[in-house]
Amino acid sequence: MRDTGVASDDDWRAYLTDLDKLREELRTFADVRDWDQFHSPKNLAMALSVEAGELLERFQWLSDAQSRALPPDALDAVSDEVADVLLYLIRLSDKLGIDPLAAAKRKLVTNDVKYPADKARGSSKKYTEL
């Protein structure tokens, strides 16, 4: 596609967002295991929270500076936890009919208004305190 500007079938599939594709694969993954019975939004939100805790654990006791310069094995471990969070986020969104990208874009616009650059510059205060 880069050369011709024309989308082949493969390109077309690529054009579908990667999140869409992961969503489909997760559906199949759950279907063939008959796991839909466990995948209530409540349970998926729990699972996501558990994974967020495991991600957090990777930074436990590290200084800020250390967390900015992870050695390769620590980085791999963090990647794994990032993956788990993302997979549950996609699955939860799917079960609820939420488009996570659209939600994120909307939120970014909201945050842009909540935190005007001139007021928020260099400050870590919550918008309610700016």
Rule CB under 8 A: which of 57-116 touch its own copies? 57-68, 70, 75, 78-80, 82-87, 89-90, 92-93, 95-98, 100-101, 103-108, 111-112, 115
In whole angstroms, the minimum distance from the beta carbon of 40 to its own copies comes to 4
Residue 100 and residue 93 in contact, taking contact as beta carbons nearer than 8 Å: yes
d(CA 98, CA 48): 16
In whole angstroms, the minimum distance from the beta carbon of 23 to its own copies comes to 11
- Judged by CB under 8 A, does residue 130 bind its own copies? no
Residue 107, both tokens: 């939120």
* Residue in 13, 24, 27, 32 binding its own copies, rule: CB under 8 A: 32
In whole angstroms, the minimum distance from the beta carbon of 31 to its own copies comes to 9
In whole angstroms, the minimum distance from the beta carbon of 26 to its own copies comes to 7
d(CA 46, CA 56): 15
d(CA 41, CA 110): 25
